[in-house]
């Protein structure tokens, strides 16, 4: 009869085993609740260079912004891979890209750095340049966002392009953004995972311009004006390619209406002179367009013209320096 005293330890062992099983079941059921499918949305502002002057022979810079908003695993990192191909303007090598005005190409590119040395490319085309890897930390609720600058540059030495509106559009496969949790690997590995197409445009407006530089026309010195004196200087017009223009010279300080009867003056004394388009002094250079102005068509580069000056024999005034100021004007 004393053997019955050993039964309570057996009942205790069964109870402990039952509790251990319940705890294990609760842990296994709660684990999957922390995993989320990655989900991102994107927008890209226009990359607009505004109005440019290619005759300046310089670079033009601007920026755009890629905005990303993502949701995924709590406290994880979302890896975003923004692949930009050539755009509708195309490219031969990926660097430069082209904006188009009809069939005319304007060289430019997009970069991932402010120094504009690293081309923003794509893992999805055949060119060597690749996109930046953008890692976005997700908070304890699995949310994160980022604004990333896109750097644009139009190259110098393109003065011979004609004025017009230049553009290239990025949509479809030209602007495909892939993404996944960073544990998925590099952007090359991510490839087209979760790929979404986000459109934007690159544009610039080149308005026709004309600029003039002039030089002093010096007739030198003379004791008496009993014989004609001549001189010349150079006027350079820099106008946009294909742009017709005319250069007029006004009547000087005296307001002469006859281009051959301008006046250099010293106080109230004057010396009569004329300005001409030819060395034979037969084609006066004045301000009546189509009659006595100098015309041309811009090339985007400086086009020099010689201004020929002629002082006819005349009564000699008192000694001193005689001057006049001429205003050159381009009409285009």
- Compare 327 and 130 and report the one with higher pLDDT: 327
Of residues 106, 131, 117, 121, the one with CA closest to residue 49: 106
Q: Which fold has domain 210-331?
A: Immunoglobulin-like (2.60.40)
pLDDT per position as a tens digit, 308-323: 999 999 999 999 999 9
Core vs surface per residue 241-273: b (16+ CB within 10 A) or e:
bebebbbbbbbbbeebeebbebbbeeeeebbbb
Q: What is the three-class DSSP state of 169?
A: strand
Distance CA(236)–CA(327), nearest Å, equals 14
Poorest-confidence range of 118-127, 218-227, 251-260, 291-300?
118-127
Would the pLDDT of 29 be above 60?
no
| Cβ proximity of 168 and 89 under 8 Å | yes
User: Per-residue pLDDT averaged across 259-285, rounded?
Assistant: 98
Give the pLDDT band of residue 6 (cuts 50, 70, 90). Answer: very low
Residues of the chain within CATH 2.60.40.1090 domain(s) are: 33-206, 210-331
| Residue linked to tokens 């990192």 | 77
Q: Looking at domain 33-206, which of 1.10.132.20, 3.30.70.890, 3.30.460.10, 2.60.40.1090 is its CATH number?
A: 2.60.40.1090
Q: How high is the pLDDT of residue 124? A: 85
| Cβ proximity of 87 and 170 under 8 Å | yes
Question: How far is C-alpha 162 from the geometric centre of its chain's CA atoms?
Answer: 16
- Compare 21 and 236 and report the one with higher pLDDT: 236
Q: How high is the pLDDT of residue 127? A: 86
What's phi and psi for 213, nearest 5 deg?
-120, 145
Q: How high is the pLDDT of residue 34? A: 54
Distance CA(307)–CA(293), nearest Å, equals 11
Poorest-confidence range of 16-30, 137-151, 175-189?
16-30
| Residue linked to tokens 């990333």 | 148
Q: In what order do the strands lie in the sheet with 134-137?
A: 134-137, 77-84, 175-181, 196-197
Percentage above 70 pLDDT, the chain: 90
Distance CA(179)–CA(201), nearest Å, equals 22
Distance CA(146)–CA(42), nearest Å, equals 10
User: What is the pLDDT of the chain when averaged over all its residues?
Assistant: 91
Poorest-confidence range of 24-33, 126-135, 197-206?
24-33
| Residue linked to tokens 């602007």 | 175
Distance CA(71)–CA(142), nearest Å, equals 5
Question: Which residues, in sequence order, are CB contacts of 277 under 8 Å at separation 6+?
Answer: 283, 284, 285, 292, 294, 305, 307, 308
Would the pLDDT of 24 be above 60?
no
Distance CA(119)–CA(132), nearest Å, equals 9
Q: How high is the pLDDT of residue 21? A: 33
Question: How far is C-alpha 156 from the geometric centre of its chain's CA atoms?
Answer: 10
The CA–CA distances, whole Å, from 35 to 26, 142, 199, 247, 256 equal 17, 10, 30, 74, 88
Poorest-confidence range of 11-25, 100-114, 269-283?
11-25
Q: What is the three-class DSSP state of 123?
A: coil
DSSP 284: B
Q: How high is the pLDDT of residue 125? A: 84
Question: Which residues, in sequence order, are CB contacts of 162 under 8 Å at separation 6+?
Answer: 101, 104, 206, 240, 241, 242, 243
Would the pLDDT of 12 be above 80?
no
User: Per-residue pLDDT averaged across 78-82, rounded?
Assistant: 98
| Cβ proximity of 248 and 293 under 8 Å | yes
pLDDT per position as a tens digit, 105-148: 999 999 999 999 999 999 888 787 899 999 999 999 999 999 99
């Amino acid at each position: 009869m004393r053997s019955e005293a050993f039964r309570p330890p057996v009942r205790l062992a069964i109870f402990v085993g039952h509790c251990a099983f319940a705890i294990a079941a609760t842990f296994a059921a709660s684990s999957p609740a922390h995993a989320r499918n990655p989900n991102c949305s994107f927008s890209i502002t226009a990359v607009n260079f505004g109005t440019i002057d290619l005759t300046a022979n310089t670079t033009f810079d601007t920026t755009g912004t890629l905005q990303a908003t993502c949701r995924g695993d709590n406290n994880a990192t979302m890896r975003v891979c923004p692949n930009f191909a050539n755009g509708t303007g195309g490219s031969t090598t990926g660097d430069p890209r082209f904006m188009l005005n009809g069939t005319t190409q304007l060289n430019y590119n997009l970069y991932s750095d402010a120094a504009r040395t690293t081309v923003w490319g794509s893992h999805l085309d055949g060119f060597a340049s690749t996109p930046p890897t953008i890692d976005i930390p997700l908070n304890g609720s699995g949310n994160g966002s980022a604004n990333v600058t896109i750097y644009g540059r139009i190259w110098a030495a393109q003065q011979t392009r004609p004025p017009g509106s230049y553009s290239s559009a990025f949509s479809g496969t030209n602007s495909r953004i892939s993404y996944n949790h960073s544990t998925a690997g590099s952007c090359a590995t991510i490839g087209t995972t979760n790929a979404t197409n986000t459109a934007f445009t690159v544009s610039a407006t080149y308005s026709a311009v004309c600029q003039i530089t002039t030089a002093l026309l010096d007739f030198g010195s003379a004791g008496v004006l009993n014989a004609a004196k001549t001189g010349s200087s150079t006027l350079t017009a820099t106008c946009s390619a294909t742009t017709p223009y005319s250069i007029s010279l006004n009547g000087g300080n005296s307001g002469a209406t006859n281009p051959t009867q301008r006046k250099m003056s010293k106080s109230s004394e004057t010396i009569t002179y004329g300005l001409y388009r030819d060395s034979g002094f037969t084609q006066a250079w004045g301000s009546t367009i189509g009659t006595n102005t100098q015309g041309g068509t811009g090339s985007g580069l400086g086009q020099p013209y010689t201004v020929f000056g002629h002082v006819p024999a005349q009564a000699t005034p008192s000694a001193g320096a005689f001057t006049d100021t001429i205003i050159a004007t381009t009409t285009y």
